[in-house]
Every structure is written in C-alpha cells, then in structure tokens.
Amino acid sequence: MVDFIAYVTERDMERWRREGRQDILDIIDREQAFWAGDHLISKVDGRYLDRCPFLTWEGELHCCSIHETRPEVCRNYEPGSSEICSQFRG
C-alpha cells in the first residue's frame, strides 16, 4: 500500500477543516509525506514512509479508517492511473 497522503490537495484540507477533522489534519501535519521519485519520505525527518497512516486492519481485511472523507486522490484512483501504482504506464 502506498501512502496517498502525499497527494492530499488544498480542497481536501479545506473539507477536513469544515468537517472539524482535526485528527486527520494532525496526522497530515505530522507525516509531511513527500514523493521522492520511487518512494515516500517524511519531509520532517527524512524517514521512509511505507504505508498510509489511515490504513487499518479489521479482522481479515485492510480498511480505510477515513473512508467517508478520504482524499480526492483515493476517490478518483483507478489501478494504473497514477505514478505511485506499479501498474502505471505514463
């Protein structure tokens, strides 16, 4: 799973502010994910980010803990549609 929050837009941020989702904004602020060409790192301390912080494990399934208000990039995502997907063909 790739960390999509590097692709969060200002529209996503505005929506979360409007919805009072400070929990999400705090995580975005803490991670500061940055796409480094072939992997994600934290702008804060350069650490490797290997998964989305909103991805949770429920029983036998991985789930999005913010599904109802997930970022636009996740709503619009189709396999192979982005450079962060291994199936991407630019």
Pairing of strands 33-35, 40-42: antiparallel
Distance (Å, whole) CA 56 – CA 63: 5
The contact pattern for ligand SF4, residues 16-55, with x = CB under 6 A and - = no contact, is ------------------------------------x-xx
Distance (Å, whole) CA 71 – CA 69: 7
How many whole angstroms from its chain centre is CA 31? 10
Interface with ligand SF4 (CB under 6 A), residue total 9
Residue 67 CB, shortest distance to ligand SF4, in Å, is: 6
Residue numbers of the site for ligand SF4 (CB under 6 A)? 4, 52, 54-55, 64, 66, 70-71, 74
